[in-house]
Amino acid sequence: MSTSALIEFHGASVAGRVTNLSFSVHTGDKLGVIGPSGAGKTTLISLITGMLTPDSGSVDIHANVVGYIPQDPGSSLCPRMTVAECIIEPQVIRLRGHADKARELQRLQESIPVILTALGLDPEIARRKPRQLSGGQRQRVAIARALLGEPELVIADEAFSALDQDTARLLQDLLLGSSSTVIFVSHNVTALRATCDDLLIMIDGTVRYHGPADNVDTTDPEVAAFLAAAKELAQ
């Protein structure tokens, strides 16, 4: 794990949503973000992806390529495109104005069969439309889209909740085995503690804990109460 910070929050606040967020995520980290509904997790991810800017403080992202896996990956595919077009679309947008756009897109196009194979899919499906695929296949195609280009940062936003068991396990293995910094957002605290190096626990729009996943400091009574409730819910 590198000591270089890939994500830096410095007192970032969004009125009525999150307050004074200050933490960093380093290159190669596998971070789990968790908290009750309304805690500010969605706002946090929106700040990281650039969909929101803070009202005060700052958020610095030192990643050139970011992969995003939404809560229902399969539903995010454009039905009018082929699978190959769906997978490469974010890279086409990212490379607008890039000096080596044509060469880089060609390289990425050639890597599509490789990533489809890694996800247990026949590369021939690249020619099909999403409607011609099963639900599980669409999920894997959306994951391929997020992972194309070896992103420095991958955000899995409640993605596992919509995946079948085999796809979820495959995605987890791929992400944990990669050099990418990965942020897992989930309600499943048990899974995050077993998967991630660190946890970030949000309550009422603030970060209440950020540290090792396997030894959470529960001196904050609200953190302790949340973890106890989450554990009981999972049983």
pLDDT of residue 170: 86
What confidence category does residue 235 fall into, taking pLDDT thresholds of 50, 70 and 90? low
Domain co-membership, 89 together with 139: yes
Mean pLDDT of 56-62: 97
Domain co-membership, 140 together with 83: yes
Mean pLDDT of 168-192: 88
> Per the structure, how many domains does the chain have?
2
pLDDT of residue 32: 96
Answer for the pair 125, 116: CB distance below 8 angstroms, yes or no. yes
In a domain? residue 34: yes
Give the pLDDT confidence of 153-178 residue by residue, as tens digits: 999 988 777 777 888 888 888 888 88
Tokens of 88: 């490469």
**Which run of H or of E encompasses 103?**
helix 101-118
pLDDT of residue 25: 97
Mean pLDDT of 136-156: 91
The mean pLDDT of the chain is 91
Q: Considering only CA atoms, give the Rg of the chain.
A: 18
Domain co-membership, 9 together with 57: yes
In a domain? residue 69: no
Read off the pTM: 0.88
Q: What are phi and psi of 106, to 5 degrees?
A: -65, -40
In a domain? residue 158: no
DSSP class of residue 99 equals: T
Question: What residue ranges in the chain does DSSP mark as E strands?
Answer: 5-14, 18-26, 30-34, 56-61, 66-69, 153-157, 181-185, 198-203, 206-212
In a domain? residue 159: no
| Last residue of one domain, picked from the residues 111, 130, 151 | 151
Give the structural domain span for 46: 5-63+180-234
Q: Is the dihedral of CA 75, 81, 84, 87 positive or negative?
A: negative
Is the pLDDT at 1 greater than 80? The verdict is no
Q: Which of 8-22, 94-108, 160-174, 192-206 has the lowest mean pLDDT?
A: 160-174
Domain co-membership, 87 together with 146: yes
Percentage of residues of the chain with pLDDT beyond 70 = 98
Mean pLDDT of 138-159: 90
Instruction: Dump the DSSP string for 108-176.
Output: HHHHHHHHHHHTT--GGGGGS-GGGS-HHHHHHHHHHHHHTT--SEEEEESGGGGS-HHHHHHHHHHHH
The CATH number of the domain holding residue 187 is 3.40.50.300
**Residue predicted with more confidence, 59 or 232:** 59
